[in-house]
Amino acid sequence: MSEAASLQSVEAGLEALLEGVPVLPTETLPCERAARRVLPADVTARLDVPPFDNSAMDGYALRHTDAGRVLPVSQRITAGASAEPLAPGSCARIFTGGAMPRGADCVVRQENAEVTADGIRVPDDIPVHDNVRHRGSDVRSGTPLLSAGMRLDAAALGHLAGQGITEVEVRRRPRVALLSTGDEIVEPGQPLKAGQIYNSNRPMLIELLETFGAEVTHLATVPDEAEGTRKVLSEAARDADVVITTGGVSVGEEDHVKAALESLGRLDLWKLAMRPGKPLALGRLPDDNGGETRFVGLPGNPVSSFVAAWLFLRPLIGALLDCPELGQLPRLTARADFTARTGPRRHYMRVTLAFSAEGIVAQAFPDQNSGVLSSCVGADALAIIEPDSSISAGDSVDCLWLRGA
């Protein structure tokens, strides 16, 4: 069997990774600490928003049937103050957010009103309800406010605050153990010896995992020997929802992670038909509660880890959180400003996108080697080039948009 025939598709990898993923339990947090957390259930509005009719402008509140007349000012209404019923044949000085007085049904902007010795001359073409924000025009009590599965962004947190809500139930963040393999890997800040390189994967993956909604609770370095690898994997799986390794899943004599996974738990898939990221292992490890911890063995090359994190770690975190928006990256169709030819593996090229009235143009980073992390710096998207195909400048290409995630 050729190597190409033995490789599994990205879709098969995702199916194996996500099969039977348990949804995490919930916890209650103060709203100020709930940003980017996922709602486990719908939230229903408790209050009308706005809670009363109010003015959308600084101006004068009146009955629209009095338009075109000169009206005396009978009261002054600031935001937060109570209003008296509007006296017949008068208007009320009102400020933005001020409560509409009973009897008034419109507001004329102050710049459209003329101050005279006898009062305020208002235009004769003011429609009813003009410049009035009606009670419940934004949110009605008892109607859906926020939907289950959504991540709480700034606007959603504002929505909760507008209901007077101070605490919210959210999904617990997935706990991730992030393990680095390779005796040649050194943490930044330490002196480099001959043959050593700094660990660029660890800070990159921590940032991506936190962006996806997880928390890294365990960091460790895996020794380049079989028994030590098994021990570190076993310890990491005890309390983590996901165990991630970087490196050690290829076929070298010092690559012990795959064998350790098979001896401790289960290997679901190994070697995917993708570039970069072919030597990627997916499986499961036993936890301390009789269940399973998901395992993702990322390649050691930083670009491979970067791409695989978007394609596999993001949807895995999304499944644990029951958050559909994390399941799939947004897709865009762009016009290629590059040429490319692929072999038997699907290629995920790092590209920048330029948006204009004529459409979207994708420009590929010139060096797409899996060790060139600079190809990921500033990348807007991953252009998908299918196996055994070629792309010419001007061709349409599907892109997974990273900036919109």
List the one residue out of 133, 112, 113, 129 whose CA is nearest residue 73. Answer: 113
Three-class SS state of 350: strand
DSSP one-letter string for 297-335: EE-SSHHHHHHHIIIIIHHHHHHHHT-GGGTS--EEEEE
Three-class SS state of 10: helix
Q: What is the pLDDT of residues 340-352, one digit of tens each?
A: 999 999 999 999 9
Question: Two tokens at 229?
Answer: 């690898």
Q: Residues with Cβ < 8 Å from 367, sequence gap 6 or more?
A: 374, 375
* Site of tokens 């208007």: 91
Residue type, 296: V
Structure confidence at residue 251 as a pLDDT band (50, 70, 90): low
List the one residue out of 220, 137, 230 whose CA is nearest residue 185. Answer: 220
List the one residue out of 202, 204, 211 whose CA is nearest residue 314. Answer: 211
pLDDT, position 96 = 98
Give the least confident one: 274-278, 287-291, 296-300: 287-291
Backbone angles phi and psi of 159, in degrees to 5: -60, -45
Cα–Cα distance, 257 to 249 (Å, whole number): 5
Cα–Cα distance, 117 to 41 (Å, whole number): 59
- Residue 219 · residue 235 · CB < 8 Å: no
- In whole numbers, what is the pLDDT of the chain averaged over residues? 93
Cα–Cα distance, 309 to 210 (Å, whole number): 12
Stretch 316-337: mean pLDDT? 96
pLDDT at 3 > cutoff 80: no
Distances (CA, A) of 377 to 131, 360, 366, 384: 48, 20, 13, 18
Stretch 233-262: mean pLDDT? 83
pLDDT at 254 > cutoff 80: no
pLDDT, position 270 = 82
Percentage of the chain exceeding pLDDT 70? 97
CA angle 302, 246, 24 (to 5 degrees): 115
Q: Name the pTM for this structure.
A: 0.90
pLDDT, position 348 = 97
340-341 and 292-298 as β-strands: parallel, antiparallel, unpaired?
unpaired
Residue type, 38: V
Q: What is the pLDDT of residues 195-244, one digit of tens each?
A: 889 999 999 999 999 999 999 999 998 888 889 899 999 999 999 999 99
Q: What is the pLDDT of residues 37-77, one digit of tens each?
A: 999 999 999 999 999 999 999 999 999 999 999 999 999 99
Decide: residue 309, CB within 10 A, 0-12 exposed, 13-18 middle, 19+ buried. Answer: buried
| Domains and their CATH numbers in the chain | 3-24+173-326 (3.40.980.10), 28-49+138-171 (3.90.105.10), 54-133 (2.170.190.11), 331-401 (2.40.340.10)
Backbone angles phi and psi of 346, in degrees to 5: -70, 135
pLDDT at 253 > cutoff 60: no
pLDDT, position 392 = 97
331-336 and 396-401 as β-strands: parallel, antiparallel, unpaired?
antiparallel
Stretch 283-306: mean pLDDT? 92
pLDDT at 2 > cutoff 70: no
pLDDT, position 158 = 97
Q: What is the pLDDT of residues 96-117, one digit of tens each?
A: 999 999 999 999 999 999 999 9
Cα–Cα distance, 130 to 60 (Å, whole number): 11
Cα–Cα distance, 177 to 155 (Å, whole number): 32
List the one residue out of 364, 315, 367, 368 whose CA is nearest residue 345. Answer: 368
Q: What is the pLDDT of residues 115-136, one digit of tens each?
A: 999 999 999 989 999 999 999 9
pLDDT, position 322 = 98
pLDDT, position 1 = 47
360-368 long-range contacts (CB < 8 A, ≥24 apart) are: 360/332, 360/333, 360/334, 360/335, 360/399, 361/334, 361/335, 361/337, 362/334, 362/335, 362/336, 362/337, 362/338, 362/397, 362/399, 363/337, 363/338, 364/336, 364/337, 364/338, 364/340
* Site of tokens 């349409």: 396
pLDDT, position 19 = 94
